[in-house]
Amino acid sequence: MKLKLAIIIVLLFTWIIPAAGAAPAKIVNLDGVKVGLRQAPILRDGVTLVQFAPIFKSLGLSVKWDSSRQQITGTKKGISLVLTVGNKNAYVNGTRMVLESPPLSLNGNVFVPLRFISEATGATLAVNGNTINITSYKGTEPFVPKPTPIPPIKTKAKKIQEELEFKYSNLSSGKLHLNDLTYGVIDDSDSLTIAVEISDEQTMQNIIDTFDTKPSTGHLLTKNLATHVHKKYGYKNINIFIITFFMNSSYPSGYDAQYNIFVPEYNVYVTRWPLYGGSYNYSTRVANWYLDPTGDTEYLIHSSKL
């Protein structure tokens, strides 16, 4: 059982690294000149997003913002781009494209997927450590994009992940509040494994303190989530891990190698550690929660009837 759990955790690490485990690059250069961004790029769903106005202008696109429709339009000779905040549908010269991650509004600024915007104008993009280097289109004729829309294949696990991040982005139990949560999901046919990822140090400490004083916290936090997945998707076994992560520029000593993942694109090591784990068995109607669920010794801290 422990070996299986350890393998699942490693798979979850691989699955959710693009979402939150790796830090986005901080610097964007266009033809060797730094783009003036008021806020650093952010990473979402494995996609780097940047403020739309500076990158549009740097690429020679005129900028139009429709606040009522939350819509961005960028145009130059031969190119028309239309994107909408919160919408994965983008339009290149009137042709619909499906984005990996939609534009979003954050702290009064609108962020757009950098690679999509760059390549739609004929530019090429490369990542070098902490820097993204963009080379603009050098052709003598105006670049006219010819997009080929490819609808994404959405797995069942991906659908559940997106549903959880929409419906259960915040979890609370007593004074413990977990906000803006990201999830990783692995579908193992007869069971579903869910990772709840925590990256804020203070939140991690709050979780540890609360679990120490009230071991039933894990169950109270996630029982509604687990029941929802069970009733809607029919899983009889649902595993939920509360995972913390750390980033290091060098190999982190003192941690099991299976929990250290090197991310070459960002030149960092990501250590994910499952602090607590819960198993919901809807056949036996029992929920168990453990401390250090993949460690050498399994510590049962709470058991509840479902």
Together in a domain, 207 and 249: yes
Q: Rounded CA gap, 164 and 158, in Å?
A: 10
Answer for the pair 88, 96: CB distance below 8 angstroms, yes or no.
no
Phi–psi pair at 77, nearest 5 degrees: -55, 120
pLDDT at residue 24 tops 70: no
- The CA–CA distances, whole Å, from 9 to 19, 30, 167, 269 equal 15, 39, 23, 16
| Residues spanned by the domain of 59 | 31-135
Together in a domain, 9 and 73: no
Mean pLDDT to the nearest integer, 250-271:
61
pLDDT digits (tens, 9 = 90+) for 133-152: 999 888 888 888 877 666 66
pLDDT at residue 21 tops 50: no
Together in a domain, 83 and 9: no
Q: Using 50, 70 and 90 to split pLDDT, how confident is the model at 304?
A: very high
Q: Rounded CA gap, 173 and 163, in Å?
A: 21
pLDDT digits (tens, 9 = 90+) for 89-136: 899 998 888 888 899 888 788 999 999 999 999 998 888 877 889 998
Total domains in the fold of the chain: 2
Paired tokens of 20? 């939150």
Together in a domain, 169 and 235: yes
Together in a domain, 239 and 295: yes
We report the CATH number of the domain holding residue 98 as 3.30.457.10
pLDDT digits (tens, 9 = 90+) for 49-69: 899 999 999 999 999 999 888
Predicted pLDDT at 25: 66
Check: pTM over 0.85? Answer yes or no: no
Q: Rounded CA gap, 39 and 26, in Å?
A: 9
Mean pLDDT to the nearest integer, 196-202:
81
Q: Using 50, 70 and 90 to split pLDDT, how confident is the model at 266?
A: low
Together in a domain, 286 and 160: yes
Last residue of a domain, one of 135, 167, 186: 135
Which runs of consecutive H residues, i.e. helices, occur in the chain?
2-16, 52-58, 114-120, 156-167, 201-213, 217-233
Last residue of a domain, one of 90, 108, 135: 135
Together in a domain, 172 and 126: no
